[in-house]
Structure 1
């Protein structure tokens, strides 16, 4: 009788906690938030060195396919970064703990997008007062300057170099880039194709 009661108790324990008896797939989904603007595919997360999870571009949340049991230890790491970031620029917050409804609600992953150098070639500048802009970046360019280092630009983001102020006695035009007008989309290598060419204005009579 005692043995039957014991077996019944064990069966009930298994029903209430499947993982304790070696069956089932756990009772918690391991989920989290994605921050940092993951704008490219390629991000792969792992839990405890396996259960690979590919996170697509634009995702704001993630969820591993395998459920885990309450009090199981989890350790989320970045196996592969998005195409426009790197593993050392991806940070997992609260990614290592024992699973419960509180800890699995605190997990987040963020990846910083690569910043790419931009240099603009300047030809024929003899006058003072030239100002170039690319978005919010503004650079005053002195006469005789052969090139201008603009602020770094985000990989896969747009750029559009323009003349904000013309130099004294000259007119400068922007060419190059993807469009031929100094604009385009940033790739994985430094942007060096934008050219500013300045010519003297016709003398007034």
Structure 2
């Protein structure tokens, strides 16, 4: 049996991470990093049922099989596909020191996304997740007030830059104070 790795957009992509094991019945296949095709060692005969599954997910990714079950026909190749995506996780943290009607907007300049903070926001989480292994960088985009001109509040960001690991992160600390 053979298949091809594709992204959800249908563009061929090499397997990025190690650890993927596919299974068809009792036939297991370890798929190497960089692979764009796969082929099980054991062939199946015409009319034989097949059911290709992901036995072990690759590191830091989630894969699924498309068109992985059916009955072998007259063709030599079964057109099963494996779609893999990098796992993503949220980033966020805590904020302190915002007073009055100040509005602080943070941005993740590396991967996109913004979050708006006020005096009533003790914790925050960006709505745009970050892929495992990707760098992120959170900074203050703006500080505004409807009643105070010029703005008399300054904010700093601690733990705002890092490379995403394999779990949600809530360790960003935003500290604001009058300036």
Query: Shorter-chain TM-score: which interval?
Result: 0.7 to 0.9
Out of 141, 146, 158, the residue aligned to residue 122 of structure 2 is 146
Out of 137, 140, 152, the residue aligned to residue 113 of structure 2 is 137
Hey, what does 1:183 align to over in structure 2?
161
- Could you tell me which runs of 5 or more consecutive residues in structure 2 were left unpaired when the two chains were aligned: 8-12, 145-150
Count of aligned residue pairs for this structure pair: 163
Cα distance between partner residues in 2 of 1:162 and 1:104:
51
* More helix as a share of residues: 1
- Could you tell me which runs of 5 or more consecutive residues in structure 1 were left unpaired when the two chains were aligned: 1-29, 177-181
Contact residue 17 and residue 59 of structure 2 kept, 8 A? yes
Q: Which runs of 4+ in 1 moved over 6 A?
A: none
Out of 153, 156, 170, the residue aligned to residue 170 of structure 1 is 153
Contact residue 97 and residue 103 of structure 1 kept, 8 A? no
Q: Deviations over 1:122-178 (max 9, x none)?
A: 1222261311112321111113522211123333332221211134312222221xx
By relative contact order (CA 8 Å, sep 6+), the higher-ranking structure is 2
Given the two structures, how large is their TM-score scaled by the length of structure 1? 0.67
1:49 aligns with 2:32: no
Classify the secondary structure of the residue corresponding to 2:77.
helix
1:1-205 maps to which residues of 2 (within 5 A)? 30-36=1-7, 38-50=15-27, 52-85=28-61, 90-100=63-73, 102=75, 104-126=77-99, 128-134=102-108, 135-151=111-127, 152-167=129-144, 168-176=151-159, 182-201=160-179
